[in-house]
Structure formats: structure tokens, C-alpha cells
Amino acid sequence: MNLKNDWWKILLGLFLTGVIVAAFLYAPRAKALGETTRILFFHVPCAWVATLAFLISATYSILYLRKNEVRYDAWAYSSAHIGLIFTILATVSGAIWAKEIWNAYWNWDPRQTSIFILLLIYAAYFALRSAVEDEQSRARLAAVYSIIAFVTVPFLMFIVPRIYESLHPDPLINAQGKIKMDVKMRQVFFASLFGFTVMFLWMLRLKVQILLMERKLESQIVTER
Amino acid sequence: MWNLVDKSIVVFRKDFQLEFRTRYALNAIAMFALTTLAVISFSIGPIQLDTNILAPLLWVILFFSAMSGLSHIFVREEEQQTADTLRLVLPPNAIWLGKWLFNVILLFGLEIIIVPVYFAMMNTQVENLSIFFPSLILGSLGLASVSTIIAAIISIASSRGALFAVLAFPIALPILFSAINSTRLSMEGAPFMDSWSDLQVLLSFTIIIITTSLLVFEFVWKR
Amino acid sequence: MRKLMTLAAIAADTTLTQMSQSMPEKKAGENIYIVLAVTVLIFGGVFFYLLYLDKKVNRLKKKVESREE
């Protein structure tokens, strides 16, 4: 580690450690949730990063189709890859929380349904990538697919809550009666959100670097032969 | 504009004549749908299902039948190596529209066969036809649009069959959700306005998918 | 960015609301070990992913260096 360039990595590590400590010691508990309130500070940022990664992936897909440069495909692919990891983390942590508080790991409430669909889209994206041999076509087809998925998502955000309300009239979704988040909770929550976002950007940059380096090496090997 | 329509009609007629000679696609998806229907009908026997199950079942049959046959339209071009000729002769938009029209007609043809049989075998009926027909027609248009663009994507991939359903399912979800809901309403005899928002979603989603497909299809199609 | 932040705050708010409203009568949600498990899971996942990336970068760097020699 080089202190001159890597100071922000150390700072990020310290910052996230601080967030964890604050989540356990500083933030108050919501009245009905008890201790498990603290899961919120890690679970919601995961879901946030998963969504952000999906948006970034779609944006770079559009850029790739317009500019036709390999590095845009590398960004789109890397973002989707990290997004998949955070989607899985958000799903699993949400399921554990749901088991504790709703007494079932899975009950298809709108949010669980949405993240499940996101998981399906990511899975389909990677299935498509692995099924196309030619590199250029692979990048192009994957970009097209992620754009089509991108226009589908707003519809799902509109439909899913409505359908599940009408099929299961349970009190999971409620427009009125929002409880205001406590000031201290809000502080910790936004700090965590910020930390996770920076961490995501770091991972994204690393992953892109790896992909581009691999590609360069491969092309070198090919030309030497 | 009319030029584009004319050219897509040319593509459609070419495909239609090819299909008419062999009847491959229609036979395949009609038999698939009938088999699925028979399996369902045998396995539930004499039990009378309620509309919460009947409506999804109909759309599950339609979805998987579409998945079994609608990719044929692009896969055939690759397999018989006619794609390159097509690329030279006609613009991408016209090709997509022509293929889309073919898939729409194919799906309607399937529904003319399968929907009456479904209601006869399931021993049930539609109470409100003014909801049922719009949702069936709009749902098929949407399903055909999604299938056509996904078929174009997978036509050069390996292991197409499985991939087609995997890719199409998340995209087709808005259609399935809304169509199932409005079909259920039609079976329960709800007033037309109840299904209004579902039909709106079906229509707008179909338009969005067609527009997006026309925008991105040239990238799928070029080599 | 401000808009996104508010959006995230609303999302968090509604999650809280949902969770607290659907609470059964019995005393659930007091298990601190569940919280610990979830924290370990998330940060463990993130940590191992970073470790995997780091390893890959190092391996590639070595490869590049050995080629340059």
C-alpha cells in the first residue's frame, strides 16, 4: 500500500468501521422493531447499490452502442457483476430479517418481489453473455438486452405493488402512517449509504481495470504468436 | 413511412409463404399448447378451479407456447443462412416489423385454437367479453413484441431454447401481471372500468417495447 | 443527488413502516445475534469480493511485469 495514493482506501475502511460502531451503539431503536432496526443500516444500502449498479450498467450499455468502444462494455459488465453480488447480499439479509420479524423467510411482499425480478434480470444478462462466443456480438447483444430490461423496470415498479396489494390484502404496504426517521438514525443511515456508494465505485474501478488488463494481455499474446 | 410499411409487408409475405408451405411453426406451438393443456386438465381431473388459478393458467400456457415457437422466425434465418441476403436487401426496421407481424399472426392463430378448447376443458366461461378480448389481444401483441426482439438476440447464441425463456421472462413480466389480472376480472364479470389500468399498462408497455426494439434492432442485426 | 438522497430516505422510511406495522404480538426483533449475523454476512461478502479482486489485480500485474522483462 502506498500512502500517497491509497489514503482514501484507509479512510473508507475507518469510515465504514465507524458506521458499524455507530449503527450498534449510537443509533436508537425503532419502537416496534427492537434490536433488528440496526439491520436497516446495512440492508438498505445493499439494495441501493444493487439498483445503482443496474442503472450504471444500462447507461454504459447505451454508451457502448453509440461509441462502440470496448471499455464501455467493460464498465457495463463490471457494474452488472458487482450489482449481482449486492443483489444477493440484499436478498439474503432481507430474508433473515423477514424471518425474525415476519416469521417467514419469503412472503412475496412488493419489495421482495422487486429484488427477485432484479435478480432474474441479472441472471439472464449473464446467461446471455456466456452463450455468445464472438466478443463483439457478445458485447452488443448484452448491451441491447440491458437496455430492454431498463425500459421494463419502471413498469414493474408501477405494477408490482398494485398486484400484490390486490392479491394479498395484508398491511405490508401502507401509503399513510409513515414514521419519521429519528435524526440520529438518519445520520447513520446516510453515512452508511455514502460509504457503500464509495465502496461500490472503488470495486467498479478495480473490476474494470482487471478486465481491460486481461484483454490487453490476451491481445499481446495473440500478436506475439 | 409507407416505404417502410411496404418493405415490412414484403418480409411478412415471404415468411408467411414459407410457413404456409411447411406449417412448421404453427404446428409446433399448437401441439405444444394442446399438450400442456392436456397435462393440466388430466392432472386436476374433475375439480372446479376458481378464477384466481384459471386466469394465470391460461397465460402460463400462452407464455410457454410462445416461448416454444416464436423464436423460430429468426433462428431459421440463421440456420438456413438466409440472414445475410436479407441484410443486403432490406433495412433492419422493415425486417423487425415484418417478423413482428408474423409472430402476432401466429400467436393469434394459436389463440383461436387454444382459447375455446381451454374454456371447454376447464368447464368455465368468460363473464365479461369486453374485458377479455382487449386483454387477450393486447397481451398477445405485447408477448409477440417481447418474443420478436429476444428471438433476434438469441438467434446467434448457443443453447437457444433454454436461453429464450430465461431472457424473455423478466421482460414479459409486466404483460403477464396485467394480462392475468384483467383476464381474472373478465372471468369474474367485473365492470369494464375495473380493468382499465391493466389495459393501459398492456398498451403502453407494448408501444414502449416496439419503439425500443426498433431503436436497438439494427445493433442486434448487424454483424 | 439531493433528490436521490430523499428517495433513499423515503425508501428507508417505508421499509421501517412496513416492518413495524406487520409486527406480530409476540416479542420479536430483540435478537441481537440476528443483527450480528446479517452484519457479518454483508461485510464478509463485500470483504471477500474485494479480496478476490485484489488477488486478481496482483496476479495480472505480475504477469504484465514478467512479460515486460
Nearest to A178 among C13, C27, C39 (CB): C13
C57 and A102 within 8 Å at the Cβ level: the answer is no
The whole-number pLDDT of residue A208 equals 94
Locate cell 449473464: which residue?
A: A126
Pick from A52, A48, A34, A186: nearest CA to A97 = A34
Chains B and A touch (3+ CB pairs under 8 A): yes
A162 and B171 within 8 Å at the Cβ level: the answer is no
Dump pLDDT digits (tens) for B115-169.
999 998 888 888 888 999 999 999 999 999 999 999 999 988 877 778 999 999 9
CA dist B96 and B94 (Å) reads 5
Q: What is the mean pLDDT of residues B187-216?
A: 92
**Is residue A219 one of the residues assigned to a domain?**
yes
CA dist B203 and A80 (Å) reads 30
The whole-number pLDDT of residue A166 equals 47
Q: Which of A31-35, B29-33, B70-74, B162-166 has the lowest mean pLDDT?
A: A31-35
C18 and A193 within 8 Å at the Cβ level: the answer is no
Q: Which of A64-73, A98-107, A116-125 has the lowest mean pLDDT?
A: A98-107
Domain count, chain C: 1
Higher pLDDT, residue A85 or B48: A85
**What percentage of chain A carries pLDDT values higher than 70?**
88
The whole-number pLDDT of residue B95 equals 92
Q: Which of A74-78, B19-23, B86-90, B212-216 has the lowest mean pLDDT?
A: B19-23
For residue C67, CA distances in Å to A58, A221, B82, B145 come to 35, 10, 45, 50
**Is residue A103 one of the residues assigned to a domain?**
yes
Q: What are the chain A neighbours of B153 within 8 Å (beta carbons)?
A: 128, 141, 144-145
A118 CB neighbour count, 10 Å cutoff? 25
* Largest CA-CA distance found in chain A, in angstroms, rounded: 69
B153 and A128 within 8 Å at the Cβ level: the answer is yes
Q: Which domain holds residue C34?
A: 2-68
Higher pLDDT, residue B50 or A88: A88
Q: What is the mean pLDDT of residues A122-141?
A: 92
Residues with Cβ within 8 Å of residue A169, at least 6 apart in sequence? none
DSSP state of B48: -
**Is residue A36 one of the residues assigned to a domain?**
no
Please state the ipTM of this predicted complex. Answer: 0.91
CA dist B164 and A46 (Å) reads 30
Q: Which residue of C has its CA nearest to A220?
A: C67
CA dist B96 and B190 (Å) reads 37
Domain count, chain A: 1
Q: Which domain holds residue A115?
A: 44-171+181-224
Mean pLDDT, all residues of chain A: 85
CB of B173 less than 8 A from some CB of A: yes
Dump pLDDT digits (tens) for A155-168.
888 888 776 654 44
Chain C closest CA to A206's CA: distance in Å? Answer: 7
Nearest to B208 among A121, A151, A159 (CB): A151
CA dist B200 and B207 (Å) reads 11
**Is residue A149 one of the residues assigned to a domain?**
yes
The whole-number pLDDT of residue C19 equals 55
